[in-house]
Amino acid sequence: MNDTSNAGAMTPIFPGSKDAAGRRATLGVMGGGQLGRMFVHAAQRLGYFTAVLDPDAKSPAGLVSHHHIQSDYSDPAGLAQLADLCQAITTEFENVPSQALQKLAQTRPVAPGATVVGIAQNRIEEKAHFAACADISGVTCAPYAVIETPAQLQAALEGRTDLMPGILKTARMGYDGKGQIRVKTTSELAAAWAELGGVACVLEKMLPLTAECSVLVARGWDGQVVSFAPQSNVHVEGILAVTHAYEGNMPPALATNARDAAVAIAQHLGYVGVLCVEFFVVDDGSTHGGLVVNEMAPRPHNSGHYTLDACDASQFDMQVHAMAGLPLPKPRQHSPAIMLNLLGDVWFDASGQLQEPNWQAVLSLPGTHLHLYGKSEARVGRKMGHLTITGPDIASVKTVARRAAELLRLPGLDTI
């Protein structure tokens, strides 16, 4: 399939150029979170003006952008203002209403387009896409069943015991482990669907998982594709905790298969922009190279934050290049890296009292790169920042990462 919401040739938008009215080239982003903030920094470093549309007056991206349009994502006046200000528009999270992207695409290049964002918003459509392109990607998703109606629930209860034990996931709005319930029996499945409100869901078979990995791909309007090396990820309670990004973080054949599959998925979508494809690595003897595709994110991704410090071009640089129609240079990683996710938990002591993390000790460690997202309040489970450790070799990076994780009392220490 191809995303037809952005049909037509793309004229490059060069840094520092001006439009017919004499205004500096401006790139827009739907969403004002940390991904939008890092996109804004990358665009501004190249010389672009930026505009952010987000309803939060204190959004991290809005606070650092040239323009902040404080409106709802579906507000016609806000969308019109964004389109007037910008020469091209992207999104920083997949739950932006696809109708809003369709509206913007009537007058401006939008990357990624509404069609592919809509697929990523719905697990049912997403899994159907993965299955449809399995022949070219070489990888498919875990066995699953769609449950949207009581009749489909009954069919799953009676005929899909092969999916047990499984995970019932809401088709929409689930992320970081939210909207998911593990089930072992048919009675648990029925109770879980009721607990989730009887909304459209996917029942996915739990597989013998041995690892998780992800691949970042950037694809331009002209079909040019570049990608970063696959990164190995560790999740704790459904939230990314540690990313390992260095040669040998996974078997070479597995890394090649993951990279090829991610590129094939992007090509099949006719995707434009940065796409992250997440994979499970399983050991059941039946899947291609041990890989099962889990989900995709139509944007830069938490697991790619290490590229800011370990590569000569980051995932956000690629996002700017792709949407603006600039060439996509093949990114080069110059240092091994480990990324540690910093949740709001770090700001609380063992008794639950608010405290400032020990940045003095952490930042005295060699090769540490702290990125805080400018959020006004720390809350348990809230993504507040990340810490990337780089170094001359893998052993030294691991040593420093372990010490940093100890100082900050981070989960996943035993995987470093």
What are the binding residues for ATP? 123, 169, 174-180, 204-207, 212, 235, 294-295
Nearest-CA neighbor of 347 among 385, 380, 393?
380
How far apart are alpha carbons 137 and 89 in whole angstroms? 29
Residue positions in the annotated binding site? 123, 169, 174-180, 204-207, 212, 235, 294-295
Residue 90's Cβ-count burial label (10 Å; 0-12, 13-18, 19+) is: buried
3-state secondary structure the chain: CCCHHHCCCCCCCCCCCECCCCCECEEEEECCCHHHHHHHHHHHHHCCEEEEECCCCCCCCHHHCCEEECCCCCCHHHHHHHHHHCCEEEECCCCCCHHHHHHHHCCCCECCCHHHHHHHHCHHHHHHHHHHCHHHHCCCCCCEEEECCHHHHHHHHHHCHHHCCEEEEECCCCCCCCCEEEECCHHHHHHHHHHCCCCCEEEEECCCEEEEEEEEEEECCCCCEEECCCEEEEEECCEEEEEEECCCCCCHHHHHHHHHHHHHHHHHHCCCEEEEEEEEEECCCCCHHHEEEEEEECCCCHHHCCHHHHECCCHHHHHHHHHHCCCCCCCCECCCEEEEEEEHHHHECCCCCECCCCHHHHCCCCCEEEEECCCCCCCCCCEEEEEEEECCCHHHHHHHHHHHHHHHCCCCHHHC
For residues 203 and 215, what is the distance between their CA atoms, to the nearest angstrom? 25
